[in-house]
Amino acid sequence: MLFATNKSQYKVDGKVILLTGALGAIGRQLAQRLAEKGARIALVDIMSDPDGQKFSDELNSGFGNPVSAYLKANLQDPKEIEHMLHWADSRFGKVDVLVNNAGIASPNMLYEGENFERISLILQVNLQAPIEAMRLFAAYITNKQMQGVVVNMASMGGMMPNRGGEVYGAAKAGLIHLTKASKSLAPQIRVSAIAPYYVNTPMVRNNPKLQNNNTVYPSLMLSVDQVCQATVRCIEDTNSAGKTYALIGTWTYAPMWLFGFAALHIKLLAAWSLITVAIRRLFGMQKQE
Catalytic machinery residues: 168
Distance CA(193)–CA(172), nearest Å, equals 10
SS3 254: strand
Closest listed residue to residue 103, CA positions, set 12, 31, 22:
22
Torsion of CA 43, 46, 50, 54, to 10 degrees: -30
Distance CA(36)–CA(33), nearest Å, equals 5
- Other CB atoms within a 10 A radius of the CB of residue 77 amount to 13
Contacts of 181 (CB under 8 A, 6+ apart): 242
Residues 253, 247 contacting (CB under 8 angstroms): yes
